[in-house]
Structure 1
Amino acid sequence: MVVAGTLVTSVSAQNRRPVTTPSATDTTKPRTALTPPVPPKPGPKPYKEIITDKALSRQGLFTVHKVEDKWYFEVGDSLLGRDVLVVNRISKAPADTRSGFFGYAGDEINENVIRFEKGPNNKIFLRNISFSVYAKDSTKPMYKSVQNSNIQPISAAFDVKAFSKDSTGSVIDFTDYISGDNDIFFFAPFFKTALRVGGLQPDKSYIVDIKSYPINTEIKTVKTYSKMAAPSPIPGLMPSGPTGNATFELNTSIVLLPKVPMRPRYYDDRVAYFTTEYTDFDADPQGVKDISMITRWKLEPKPADLEKFKRGELVEPQKPIIYYIDPATPAKWVPYLIQGVNDWQKAFEKAGFKNAIMAKVAPTKAEDSTWSLEDARFSAMVYKPSDIPNASGPHVHDPRSGEILESHINWYHNVMRLLRDWYLIQASPSDPRARKAEFDDELMGQLIRFVSSHEVGHTLGLPHNMGSSAGTPVEKLRDKAWVEANGHTASIMDYARFNYVAQPEDKIGPAGLYPRIGEYDLFSIEWGYRPILDKDEEGEKAVLNEWAKNNYNNPRLRFIHQNGIDPRAQTESLGDNNMKANEYGIKNLKWILPKLPSWLNEKGENYENLNEVYNELIGQFSRYLGHAATYVGGVYTDAKTTEQAGDVYTVVPKALQKEAMAFIQKNYFETPTWLLDKNILDKISAPTSDRVSTLQDGWLGTLLSTSRMQRLISSANRDASAYRLDEFMEDLKKGIWGELATRKPIDNFRRNLQKSYVERLGAIIAPAPAAGGGSFGGIIISFGPVTDPKKSDIVSVAKGILRSLKAEIAAAVPAYTDKMSRYHLQDLNDRIGKILDPK
């Protein structure tokens, strides 16, 4: 190759004289002075010409060389065709691009699987691999057909610059690919949009460093992008907000996936896990089948301990699950975060392992100079100094098998504010430590511990089990001995928060107030993680099916999917009867409310804390109505297989639906005047808004949703004893219009509620055009298919109710001497007339 280069230089120096000395084997004709010069033949050069003595080299997954301003990767032949995971994270971010929960250090912004392949003409191709379609058995004809129909795209191509010293690899120049912008190594399009990231500014971007380790290579870059304007909150207006540039420090982890994927464990609705899916063309001989594999860590006994494990002895796994605590975490919270992780050890003991999961303080640079928060070999709890009141537990897994490879749990600083508000509102009647604006470190630490455990559960593969709390009888929540021994919910993965049912006289301590890892969590971890030895895939499925089936009748070991229509699976709810539980909850709120000004009386501070906690109390009260409303038109949904007796879908009994209606009428539609504490309201808001009427209107809209009405109609079609739509509408009318029978004066709050009632029924009969949003605001929650009220009995019943109401109003008006009540009824009589007869 050097000769060719010398020849071209020589020809140029001699003013393109004819070449007259071809080699003995050269059969080409001599080139004349008029013939253009032959360009040098492209192709690999000798290794030492590319990787010079000036190279800074690092060994690892890829041998990486830095030569002046170039970065070269040696792609070993052994890596060709191997699946490699690419995980991209933000390591430093500008504050003005953040969007809600996104845009902080440690956030994942993209994930892909790639393969390197040799192509023709000394090329290395990088393919982006998808596992969404699959044919498992390579001996069957379908395998070849699927492969031919699903070619994986080539995302990049690189010239081989040289071959490795020992000829077992290819050297490629990765500089331009890393310096540029692409959706393999950097932002996924979704995150670009969410963070308002525009085009790359190459002159303001650079490669910081590249490090290589045995199974991963870590790339750190600084990327500057143009910044897109934020969309206007008002439809139709131009985008607004600052533009300019946004600079990020990004970390790209390239991780070698196992050559042989972990044996998957297949999903079961009765013991839910997060999943990875694909469409299998082999599983169903007459069609295709969607396959779901659960995501879980690979825990296996050490070979020397197999016999101990089979005897039922606890053994240590070959590789434990370790979470490192972000060095940026405030030191006083570190022990509680560690405890939150270590609390899961008892669950893994149920699965047969000891010391299977633990948390450690991250090593200092002096202790381990190679440790990095961005290194994909390490899982971590990442502290985010943010005003976002949240925490989250994502994980990275192998899409071929569901094996979890690492996790970065995010906990945002301001989650402590959320915990303060929750605990004060839900547990202060039982715990005097919660009766102030700032909690002691020990109390806050224990609350952080609960959040830590919950988020770790997500990183183990567990989703929310909102139905877990429904397995606890309400009265057990007030039984000190029972609830302190068993906990108020069977799963820490529920949104059960704290025991708001406990009353001050019950004297229940923290063990009966805090969430904890419970019975369901122990069962779920055993089901997902216990190795089932000496069984093939089908044998393992059979064993797991028996475990799920045999435990299903225990309500504390059941997973109930949250679908919006099953009242057992709701956020923030407790016990097996929400109406009974929430009567206790409201009793506690009434106990708390008048005490708030004295609890939150901070010297030299304004009333921001009082306003925040008062709003949290109203929010808690509102949740209680939501819990009851779900019973109306509710349907129990039980995940069952054909081997199990009973139905999957069961209409909530009529008695419970009517109990829910009575609860709503008593606590919400009879004006909750106890909320109108003048001592609080005069300190936090001017008399310009009506919180009670806003609350009533919103939940009235929820009750009158057409999807709920349709469920009542459909339920009665299946079960003659079900709560019917006309019965529900009559019960609702009686509660909201009770004054018509007694001729009692109608106060302002009830007048507002009655106006809302008429307007909402009018909107069902003659809905406003869709453009511009909803007609009346409020909370409208619907589940299932969209219902056209005019094609069902909904409009018929609504008109019938209004006709009946119009007659009752007309009969009542003459008896009213109260001026405002009379004006109100006359007004509504006119409105109903226009709704029924819009001339």
Structure 2
Amino acid sequence: MGKSYSNKIIAGVICCVLFTSCSLLQKNTGRPQTTASFEIKTDPYYQPKKKSFFENLLKQGTANKGLCNIYKKDDRFYFEIPDSLFEKDILVVNRIARAAAQVRPDHEYAGYGADQIGENVIQFYKGTNNKIFIKKIDYSGSRAADSSDNGMFRAVSNSNLSPIMAAFDIKGYGPDSSSVLVDMTDYINNDNELFFFSGQQKRLYSLGGLQNDKSYVQGVSSFPQNIEIKTVKTFSNGNSGMAQSMPYLTYELNTSMVLLPKIPMKARPVDERVGYFGRGYVDFDIPHPQGFNGTWLVTRWRLEPKEEDLEKYYRGELVEPKKPIVYYIDPATPKKWVPYLIQGVNAWQKAFEKAGFKNAIYALEAPLNDPEWSLEDSRHSAIVYKASWVQNASGPNVNDPRTGEILETHINWYHNITEILHDWYFIQASPSDTAARKMILSDSLMGKLITFVCSHEVGHTLGLAHNFASSATVPVDSLRSKNWVDSNGICPSIMDYARFNYVAQPEDCMTEQELIPRIGAYDEWAIDWGYRWLPPMKNAAAEKEYLNQWVIKKLEDSALLYAYSGSSCQAEDLGDDAVKAGKYGIKNLKQILPELLNWAKLPDENYDAASKMEDQLMYQYKRYLSHVSQSIGGRYLTPKTVEQKGNVVDYADRSKQKAAVNFLQEELFKTPGWLFNKQLYAATGGAGYMDVLNIQKDVLNEIMSPRIINRMIYLQALQPSKAYTPNQFFTDLETGIWSELTANKPVDLYRRNLQKAYVAQLLSLQDGIESAQGNSYAADLGMIDLLSVLKAHKAQLVKKIDSALATCKDEETKWHLADIAGRIKSSSATGSQNSTRPGSNNAFNQQSLQGAMRDEIPTLEQKMQAKQTNCWGRMDQEK
């Protein structure tokens, strides 16, 4: 997409309000949107006091002018609040500036400098009895702006009164009575949830009571749009395990009070076909036959052309925005990584050019020796380097709850992410890249990996959610084509978890360029959709119709697919065929394993490095198996509007599911002897038989689940010619897992373990249904074919075992088969009483039963909540 695309789109496109957010601006009748923010008015009998205190303060105190003029006298802090600031929304963001030692909650993800610990919207307003109040505003609930006779403004106002959180006496008035003076010292010195740790964060950090004698205010600074408050707070240690050795916990905290924009950014409602995070609320203004609608607004930066450049922009020429998106690199970052982090940010410039902006986003090193620059200052976005063993990074943002406008971000960059990057690249790319065959990668190679992760996290801070469906749009064979990958990358979206090109084989001669992900076609489209500045159309309905047609047209390119759920939405995968990709991946693992003692070694060290990389190899092997398992009973969801062709819901056909079962038989159930390397085992202990058995058990539990089998039954009823029936599924499983019975061969140790695991899962399925008395979901499962199929296959298996026992000569095989036959017969005789028998997986619970019967399409609310849960975009490794 270039100028030619822009010229076609610009004239009619409007990428702002689809349907619900028109109430934000277009229905405004002069009153603000109701969140109960404006219902209490100034006391009409309110009379200014004498100005003597104020005048004396002006003469004797020190002043800092800004959003509020701040005066300090005798260690007291006075805020001069102008009348223009009353009843205006102020976003309060609380952060740790310097953290207490050895306090790292949330599995070491929290407790670092620049961590956010609270966020609130407040308003100052004048109350009665010469009081100034602080009120807390909640924009996540109900809203209404329409105050017409048919509007809901009054009704919503009556049911959403905002709480008063603090009250202050007026100490004086400005010279022209257009401002008031309040003493904020005690409020800042004490503890409160508005300015410091929220209650939830206190529990997370195990904080007890505030120690006033060990706490103080470092300073208060006022700027034109914000106020920065720096404090030192000491709390008693609520962690009984640590309290004896460390009775107190001290934090340096930073509180940012940011005036939200006077003119809210024009909001853009979420479109399910483009992956953005959102802010949700209930909008009572949206036209609806009956009831009301929930609304989600995408989170994005306010990116606008300059007034003098509008005509150029509309002609399709690239223009610079009024205010670019700027990230600063934490001065604590090791210097060798700074250029690569900058590259990770700047890589997004090309995507913003698709939306018509040049130089829209870039990174800078933080200024040195600048007293007015602070990492915690709400005016600055930053990549914050954290001295931590955590192998991760995350990209949160702070946004305007009224519209979703992103105001700033502090990307969390944990020091030890380099370890997980090394491990991933070693296991997935070392057959193709000789530079990966070592435990310490070169700074140049590690820098490229850092750039990749940085771009991913920056994407989150631009509002983009994960798009795990993106990698499934790429033909597997294309991943082996050097020319194709060089042109397109290994995945259309860097917001997927497509780590490195594990499909590529050594003979493909791939370079790092073709092995490492980069910003792709979907990312550029998502930025275009979210950030293109478009002139208003005649009404919201026209906007909605045009935007829908725009998205439909763009999605003719399958590389631009976004999906929120379904079997195609998998992390860590590559390609449109999990079986083919998995075979290539395992082929590469087979090349790595014999070389681990050579590649994974450190001078003058023991074999821990080799042992660790052996574990990583096992994790990767398990991922390939899991990717394929998703095809069995696979369900695919593609979000669409009614104007689009094709199904929203589709299922894997018989051939795809049979291919997946055959893959598992070949690569897992037929004992993977390649994993047992005697030389490696002698040095590390190696992958023993229990490691293989545990993987086999996990996969059996995954594919022999009531949810998967119920999908098979559903498709059998819906499309019999396409369906892979439960009977066919169990027959195919048994044919491979119990092949020794028909061949009259001894069963070796590994296969005996596998067969016991299979029977345990089979019995667990039956036990779970029959033992869940009174559970409506279990009753439903008992009424469909699932239980009948299980019982039939148990009976068939017993017949095969009894027949094999009659001619079996291997003693251990006879013991094994007799044991298995006894377990199955016992379960048939005693029924659900055996639900706790040894060897049963006990995989059933109410949640799994409910999931088996309710396989519905998630609502928009559920989809957005799932996104928000992972809104930090952690790069967690899934093991």
Look up the match of 2:816. Answer: 824
- Residue among 794, 799, 803 paired with 1:802: 794
Query: Retained in 2: the 8 A contact 1:52–1:67?
Result: no
Kindly indicate whether residue 553 of structure 2 is the aligned counterpart of residue 550 of structure 1. yes
Look up the match of 1:430. Answer: 432
Q: For the residues of structure 2 that align with 1:592 and 1:240, how far apart are their CA atoms?
A: 48
Task: Give the secondary-structure state (helix, strand or coil) at the position aligned to 2:102.
Answer: helix
Q: 5 Å matches for 1:715-730?
A: 715-720=715-720, 721-730=722-731
Kindly indicate whether residue 73 of structure 2 is the aligned counterpart of residue 63 of structure 1. no
- Residue among 247, 254, 261 paired with 1:244: 247
Q: Give the drift of 1:244.
A: 2.6
- Residue among 816, 825, 838 paired with 1:833: 825
Q: For the residues of structure 2 that align with 1:42 and 1:263, how far apart are their CA atoms?
A: 39
Q: 5 Å matches for 1:353-752?
A: 353-365=357-369, 368-535=370-537, 537-561=540-564, 563=565, 566-685=566-685, 690-720=690-720, 721-752=722-753
Look up the match of 1:229. Answer: 239
Query: Retained in 1: the 8 A contact 2:94–2:254?
Result: yes
Q: For the residues of structure 2 that align with 1:258 and 1:786, how far apart are their CA atoms?
A: 54
Q: For the residues of structure 2 that align with 1:787 and 1:583, how far apart are their CA atoms?
A: 40
Query: Retained in 1: the 8 A contact 2:675–2:687?
Result: no
Look up the match of 1:112. Answer: 120
Runs of 4+ in 1 over 4 A off after TM superposition: 41-45, 239-243, 686-689, 768-771, 785-789
Look up the match of 1:123. Answer: 131
Counterpart amino acid of 1:818?
Answer: D
Query: Retained in 2: the 8 A contact 1:86–1:185?
Result: yes
Q: 1:586-641 CA deviation, whole Å, 9 max, x = no partner?
A: 00000111111101222211222112111111101100111111111111101000
Query: Retained in 2: the 8 A contact 1:198–1:228?
Result: yes
Q: 1:454-507 CA deviation, whole Å, 9 max, x = no partner?
A: 100001110111111111111000011111111110011110010000000010
Look up the match of 1:326. Answer: 330
Look up the match of 2:24. Answer: none
Q: For the residues of structure 2 that align with 1:111 and 1:723, how far apart are their CA atoms?
A: 51
Q: CA RMSD in A?
A: 2.2
Q: 1:570-590 CA deviation, whole Å, 9 max, x = no partner?
A: 001111111101100000000
Percent of residue pairs bearing the same amino acid type: 48
Q: For the residues of structure 1 that align with 2:669 and 2:245, how far apart are their CA atoms?
A: 46
Query: Retained in 1: the 8 A contact 2:501–2:516?
Result: yes
Task: Give the secondary-structure state (helix, strand or coil) at the position aligned to 1:372.
Answer: coil
- Residue among 163, 187, 194 paired with 1:184: 194
Query: Retained in 2: the 8 A contact 1:305–1:315?
Result: yes
Query: Retained in 2: the 8 A contact 1:484–1:508?
Result: no
CA 1:788–1:448: 2 relative to 1, 3 Å: farther
- Residue among 251, 265, 288 paired with 2:292: 288
CA 1:678–1:240: 2 relative to 1, 3 Å: farther
Counterpart amino acid of 2:551?
Answer: A
Query: Retained in 2: the 8 A contact 1:197–1:226?
Result: yes
Q: For the residues of structure 2 that align with 1:42 and 1:142, how far apart are their CA atoms?
A: 37
Q: For the residues of structure 2 that align with 1:44 and 1:130, how far apart are their CA atoms?
A: 36
Counterpart amino acid of 1:124?
Answer: I
Kindly indicate whether residue 140 of structure 2 is the aligned counterpart of residue 137 of structure 1. no
Task: Give the secondary-structure state (helix, strand or coil) at the position aligned to 1:463.
Answer: coil
CA 1:96–1:44: 2 relative to 1, 3 Å: farther
Q: For the residues of structure 2 that align with 1:151 and 1:165, how far apart are their CA atoms?
A: 34
Look up the match of 1:77. Answer: 83
CA 1:829–1:382: 2 relative to 1, 3 Å: same
Q: 1:198-241 CA deviation, whole Å, 9 max, x = no partner?
A: 3322222221211111101111111222223379xxxxxxx999
CA 1:450–1:716: 2 relative to 1, 3 Å: same
Segment drifting more, 746-755 vs 183-192: 183-192
Counterpart amino acid of 1:363?
Answer: P
Counterpart amino acid of 2:803?
Answer: A
Query: Retained in 1: the 8 A contact 2:145–2:152?
Result: no
Query: Retained in 1: the 8 A contact 2:769–2:778?
Result: no
Question: Unaligned stretches of 5+ in structure 2?
Answer: 1-46, 834-879
Task: Give the secondary-structure state (helix, strand or coil) at the position aligned to 2:301.
Answer: coil
Segment drifting more, 195-204 vs 386-395: 195-204
Q: Give the drift of 1:413.
A: 0.8
Q: 1:430-472 CA deviation, whole Å, 9 max, x = no partner?
A: 1110000100000000000001111000011101111111111
Task: Give the secondary-structure state (helix, strand or coil) at the position aligned to 1:496.
Answer: coil
Counterpart amino acid of 1:698?
Answer: D
Counterpart amino acid of 2:133?
Answer: F
Q: Give the drift of 1:52.
A: 6.0
Q: For the residues of structure 1 that align with 2:454 and 2:334, how far apart are their CA atoms?
A: 15
Query: Retained in 1: the 8 A contact 2:144–2:283?
Result: yes
Q: For the residues of structure 1 that align with 2:245 and 2:542, how far apart are their CA atoms?
A: 60
Question: Unaligned stretches of 5+ in structure 1?
Answer: 1-40, 232-238, 772-784
Segment drifting more, 527-536 vs 455-464: 527-536
Q: 1:704-754 CA deviation, whole Å, 9 max, x = no partner?
A: 222222222222222223122222222222222111111222111111111
Look up the match of 1:347. Answer: 351
Look up the match of 2:210. Answer: 200
User: What count of residue pairs does the alignment treat as equivalent?
Assistant: 774
Q: For the residues of structure 1 that align with 2:428 and 2:264, how far apart are their CA atoms?
A: 46
Query: Retained in 1: the 8 A contact 2:769–2:779?
Result: no
Counterpart amino acid of 2:417?
Answer: V
Segment drifting more, 156-165 vs 125-134: 156-165
Q: 1:263-306 CA deviation, whole Å, 9 max, x = no partner?
A: 01111011121111111111034210111111111111111111
CA 1:725–1:51: 2 relative to 1, 3 Å: farther
- Residue among 208, 225, 230 paired with 1:220: 230
Look up the match of 1:93. Answer: 99
CA 1:593–1:242: 2 relative to 1, 3 Å: farther
Task: Give the secondary-structure state (helix, strand or coil) at the position aligned to 1:97.
Answer: coil
Look up the match of 1:301. Answer: 305
Q: Return the index of the structure with the highest Cα Rg.
A: 1
Look up the match of 1:27. Answer: none
Query: Retained in 1: the 8 A contact 2:325–2:360?
Result: yes
Task: Give the secondary-structure state (helix, strand or coil) at the position aligned to 2:632.
Answer: coil
Counterpart amino acid of 2:510?
Answer: I
- Residue among 801, 804, 807 paired with 1:812: 804
Q: 1:330-364 CA deviation, whole Å, 9 max, x = no partner?
A: 00000000011111001011100110000001001
Counterpart amino acid of 1:157?
Answer: A
Query: Retained in 2: the 8 A contact 1:693–1:752?
Result: yes
Task: Give the secondary-structure state (helix, strand or coil) at the position aligned to 2:594.
Answer: helix
Look up the match of 2:856. Answer: none
Q: For the residues of structure 2 that align with 1:714 and 1:818, how far apart are their CA atoms?
A: 43
Task: Give the secondary-structure state (helix, strand or coil) at the position aligned to 1:690.
Answer: helix
Indicate the structure whose relative CO is greater, using CA pairs within 8 Å and at least 6 residues apart: 2
Query: Retained in 1: the 8 A contact 2:689–2:750?
Result: no
Segment drifting more, 795-804 vs 748-757: 795-804
CA 1:427–1:686: 2 relative to 1, 3 Å: closer
Q: Give the drift of 1:688.
A: 8.0
Counterpart amino acid of 2:829?
Answer: D
Q: For the residues of structure 1 that align with 2:779 and 2:217, how far apart are their CA atoms?
A: 55
Task: Give the secondary-structure state (helix, strand or coil) at the position aligned to 1:837.
Answer: helix
Q: For the residues of structure 1 that align with 2:152 and 2:602, how far apart are their CA atoms?
A: 72
Instruction: Name the TM-score, length of structure 1 as normaliser.
Output: 0.89
Look up the match of 2:860. Answer: none
Q: For the residues of structure 1 that align with 2:363 and 2:771, how far apart are their CA atoms?
A: 52
CA 1:420–1:351: 2 relative to 1, 3 Å: same
